[in-house]
Amino acid sequence: MNAVAIAFSLILLFLSVPVFLVFGLGGSISAIWGLNLPWSTLIQVAFGSMTKHVLIAVPLFIFTGMVMLRGGAASRMVHFATSLVGHWPGGLGIGMVIAMGFFAAFCGSILAAITAVGTIMMPKMIEQGYPKPFVIVLAASAALLESLIPPSNAAILFSALTNVPVSKTFAAGVVPGFILLVLMIALVMWKCRSIRNPVAASGREKWIAARDAAPGLVTPVIILGGIYAGLLTPSESAAVAGMWAIAMGFLIYRELTLSGLIDALRQTVVVTAVIFAIIAMATFLSVVLTYSQAPQAIISYFTELGGTPMMFWFALAVICLILGTFIEIVPVFYLTVPIFAAITLSLNLDMLHLYVVFVAFAGIGMITPPVCVGVYTAAGVVKESPERAFREVPLFVAVGILYGILMIFLPAAATWLPGVLN
């Protein structure tokens, strides 16, 4: 019956059925007809997975980003980034990487970041002579910084699954996020070295851009400062950030309207509903797998095989690359992290190291066809066929694999800052 459930799930997946339905229907076949599990228990488990206190921060961070988008903070951060680096080789691309990584960390939605920052930057880059396929894949890849740069919804989900404090997971992503940012900047500077650069902004223009962007740039200080000072929990910090975003939009920039606030709430509900539906059904499926003892069998097999840490990292990389190609990153988290976490503990490896390596390889799958929603979204912004952009994907995948290998061999990148803050 488990084989039937897996085959049925794969058919649904290739038919482009929403992934939460794939998990729910496939898990139901195995649970009801294969394991004779009661519906009531499974429903309680699925509901309980969405009521963890730490997950309250997810919709609040999404709301903060949506309000910043409609209240003028996002556009001013983009302008500030381009005023600083726009005259460098590939400067506009570097500006988009910085702005998108910063904004994606707040809104918790890669697609929202691509739409918000990409709408401003991508047409400007294409006018400047940047190849359109490169611009599309760069936008999709830059948004993946959201998974590392705090505050990050990926960190919150990982903490919810592993019980690692969110403050430690946030801190673990800082240095790796900076390393990934540097690699992407180096890629843009090399690829776009022959493109003519705009005139450098004057000191006065940089000052004005910094002044205008300052309220938005203060937001991470409010969020992370409250957490690490011990004054606020992550959920409380996210709520304060949301109120600050509203104050910026209404009182400082005066671009947020009542209809814009309502639209931000509506979009927050839509994005949150998608994420939490996946969480519920992925947890449902993970419980079914636990009852079938599949994770225990995998862990036991790996242990009896005499698996080394390097074998484990290699297996994790391959699994994440394959799954990420067909499934979005949130369900990949809920399907694999509990198993990976158990093996990590059995090998005496650090959970924060697992977080960074996992995000590195799972994130690569987000830009590889066929399930590469970031590329499709970015292509839609500039009205280009996504198939034309696919030829640039291997270059970014190579950089992503290089980054993942660096993270495997540099565990201190994930553990150093949490240790200092602790």
Q: Which two tokens stand for residue 77?
A: 């951060």
Determine the 3-state secondary structure of 38 from DSSP.
Answer: coil
Instruction: Tell me what pLDDT residue 109 has.
Output: 61
* Confidence check: pLDDT of 409 > 90: yes
pLDDT in tens, 144-197: 787 788 878 888 889 988 989 988 999 999 999 999 989 999 999 888 888 777
* Confidence check: pLDDT of 307 > 80: no
Q: Which residues of 179-208 are buried (b: 16+ CB within 10 A; e: fewer)?
A: bbbeebbebbbebbeebeeeeebeeeeeee
pLDDT in tens, 348-397: 999 999 999 999 998 887 788 766 777 887 888 788 888 888 888 899 99
The pLDDT mean for the chain works out to 83
* Confidence check: pLDDT of 272 > 70: yes
What is the crossing angle of helices 393-409 and 132-142, to 10°? Answer: 30
Among 332, 421, 335, 339, CA closest to 371? 332
CA separation (Å) from 233 to 75, 156, 174, 201, 240? 29, 12, 19, 40, 11
Average pLDDT score over residue span 327-338? 79
Percent of the chain with pLDDT over 90: 20
Q: Band of the pLDDT at 319, cuts 50, 70, 90?
A: confident
Average pLDDT score over residue span 214-219? 86
Region of residue 108 (phi > 0: left; psi between -120 and 50: alpha; otherwise: beta): left
Average pLDDT score over residue span 241-261? 93
Instruction: Tell me what pLDDT residue 357 has.
Output: 94
Among 38, 115, 46, CA closest to 74? 115
How many whole angstroms separate alpha carbon 183 and alpha carbon 177? 10
Query: What pTM value is reported for the model?
Result: 0.82
- For the chain, domain boundaries: 52-267+293-421
**Which of the two residues, 239 and 369, has the higher pLDDT score?**
239
Determine the 3-state secondary structure of 256 from DSSP.
Answer: coil
* Confidence check: pLDDT of 258 > 90: yes
Instruction: Tell me what pLDDT residue 175 has.
Output: 93
Average pLDDT score over residue span 246-259? 93
How many whole angstroms separate alpha carbon 355 and alpha carbon 155? 8
Q: Band of the pLDDT at 306, cuts 50, 70, 90?
A: low
* Confidence check: pLDDT of 284 > 90: no
Determine the 3-state secondary structure of 302 from DSSP.
Answer: helix
Instruction: Tell me what pLDDT residue 143 has.
Output: 64
Q: Band of the pLDDT at 281, cuts 50, 70, 90?
A: confident
Helices (H), ranges, 192-328? 203-217, 219-228, 234-247, 258-291, 294-304, 309-326
Average pLDDT score over residue span 388-410? 91
* Confidence check: pLDDT of 300 > 70: no
C-alpha R_g of the chain: 21
Q: Which two tokens stand for residue 340?
A: 């990976």
* Confidence check: pLDDT of 108 > 60: no
**Sign for the pseudo-dihedral over CA of 394, 399, 402, 404:** negative
Chain centre distance of CA 410: 21
* Confidence check: pLDDT of 303 > 60: yes
